[in-house]
Amino acid sequence: MKFYKKGVSLLHTLMMILVSAGLVIMICVTALEVVRRYVFGLSFSWAEELVKYLMIMVAFFGGAVAYRDKGLVSLDLLTGKLSKKAQIVIELLSETVAVALIAMLFWFSLQSVLKPGVYRQISIGLKVSMAIPWAPLPIGFGAMLLFAPEHYYQLFSRLMGKDGEQA
């Protein structure tokens, strides 16, 4: 598990860097575009498209990072009143349903990106294959699937009475 955790931590760090860089680029391009448009009456043909594609990347990579960090929304109003073992069992069920849904979304998004109609289509402003701006979907869902075993390990460790949070 130690080797796996190291690899997953590296992926997590890489995704955090990409999300941060994406946000910085989005802010810079948007600010530049506002100045060019309202001061000089000019605009880049690719700016809006780039910001849109970066937003997709930030959303799906950021979602994967939040999933690993357990930063996604959860409702624990009812489960907070249950015993610790019952809470863990419900978390296991919830995690299993989430992983099944993520796996399904990964498969469908991968199939969509690999369709000839997507990867042969060229974007208007950036002149790149449309597979590039849509690739963050399967990458983000795939990263979530790679992060899931770590969640299961922690949950089963807690269920067995061990400290799974540090594993």
Q: Which tens digits make up the pLDDT trace of 103-123?
A: 999 999 999 999 999 989 999
Answering whether pTM is above 0.85, one says yes
Q: Which residues pair with 129 in a beta bridge?
A: 122
Distance CA 40, CA 1 (A): 57
Distance CA 106, CA 128 (A): 23
Residue 2 reports pLDDT greater than 90: no
Nearest residue to 75 via CA among 89, 102, 94: 94
Q: Which residues pair with 122 in a beta bridge?
A: 129
Domain parsing of the chain, residue ranges: 2-166
Q: In this predicted structure, what is the pLDDT of residue 165? A: 52
